[in-house]
A and B are shown apart, each in its own frame.
Chain A
């Protein structure tokens, strides 16, 4: 009934069909040409050999060629700890109470039953340290990524679940008040800790080790450690004697610091108190 009205007057139908035909051709050509340019021509301009099918696959994310892994990884990774879903769920499910039992038998002699070390210059305080940091270091001692004649056999005696429990126990302890009085460090050290040095590419310590913890999971709390322990670790990172920092983060930074700056940073963190929130 209404078909005649929809299609317009009978004498214009032929003209209409022709218009639709050419519009379809034009739109189709534009789409095909765009796809060709975007998926084939432009990607191919960068390729050494002519492989349009490979270019399309790469552009839309189904690569037919395997990643070009030239060279083999002969060195073991800096750390084999991965922050995968399994690791995170395991840390959440850790049992601090059973960790406490292990601590009494295994860790307390040096690190103290409540995580306050008997000799902070040698053995770091663990009370209030983050669970992630303790877990990662224990795993690295197990795998040999971080070397220590004392810690390696102790850590190797623990199962992975036990390392998570121990980490959860220490993380739940009340952190020590940092030793010493007001910081007697120079202004440029405080600036380095809080602002960093953009021209030298040194991020501030605060950006990863601060209370906001905006950086990597494993970055430990630095306040409350002994200054000589911190300086020792910085020097070991700088010389790459200690190399269990993922993606060489600390090695890169420590290499940039002068011996005076390392000493100043250690004094700053070793002698100041954490700000009360």
Chain B
């Protein structure tokens, strides 16, 4: 058992996210870091990539998340209402989004393509419609605007 845990932790990078950070869920809509204009993918001045997401009943904001291939991406996710799930199918990104805390994890995508990101903690009647799309882009497809922000759209 211990051997399985150790091997999956080191070789497959599957382990509980070790980040505990409190945030007030009742005032999340006036929080500066998670303000609407700060959500989504952003390349920081030092070149690192941070994605800020709000999981709420019943959507992820933003719904389309572009990320670069082969580069470490930091996800910061939080919820104003109930527990939601953050899971990017086909990657090792998987955590609960508990109101009152910022779920943060880092991962690297080695294959370009579209990844489904469903909510995988039952969160209410609209749970089954709550999903987002992670687009792993490479080369010229990966581009940001002047402020370092990257965005994409899911066609209607």
Contact = CB atoms under 8 A, between A and B. Distances in A.
B87 to A, nearest CB: 15
B30 interface: yes
Contacts of A214: 57, 124-125
A75 B59 contact: no
A46 B38 contact: no
A133 to B, nearest CB: 15
A79 B102 CA distance: 21
A201 B125 contact: no
A203 B59 contact: yes
Contact of A255 (B10, B22, B130, B156): B156
B33 A252 contact: no
A128 B23 CA distance: 34
A207 B63 CA distance: 19
Nearest to A249: B59
Given A42-B9, A73-B37, A77-B35, A203 B126 contact: yes
Interface stretch (A80-88, A89-97, A183-191): A80-88
Contacts of A246: 29, 56, 80
Contacts of A253: 59
Interface residues of A, number: 57
Contact of B129 (A77, A79, A204): A204
B126 A71 contact: no
A247 interface: yes
A196 interface: yes
Contacts of B156: 200, 255-256, 258
A242 interface: no
A58 B126 CA distance: 33
Contacts of B22: 61
B27 A82 contact: yes
Contacts of A39: 18
Interface in B112-153: 124-126, 128-132, 147
A177 to B, nearest CB: 26
B129 A55 contact: no
B124 A215 contact: yes
A206 interface: yes
Size bracket of the B interface: 35 or more
Contacts of A202: 129
B21 to A, nearest CB: 6
Interface stretch (A16-24, A62-70, A156-164): A62-70
B91 to A, nearest CB: 14
Contacts of A43: 18-19
Nearest to A30: B2
A59 interface: yes
Given A77-B29, A252-B61, A210 B21 contact: no
A43 B104 CA distance: 11
A44 B26 CA distance: 32
Contacts of A247: 29, 36, 54, 56, 59, 61, 80
Interface string A202-226: 1110111010101110000000000
Contacts of A61: 20-22
A26 interface: no
A197 interface: yes
A212 B125 CA distance: 10
Nearest to A256: B156
B6 to A, nearest CB: 7
Given A203-B58, A215-B125, A216-B81, 18 more contacts: A48-B72, A69-B33, A69-B38, A74-B37, A77-B29, A77-B30, A77-B35, A81-B29, A84-B27, A196-B128, A198-B129, A201-B130, A204-B125, A214-B57, A215-B57, A252-B63, A256-B156, A258-B156
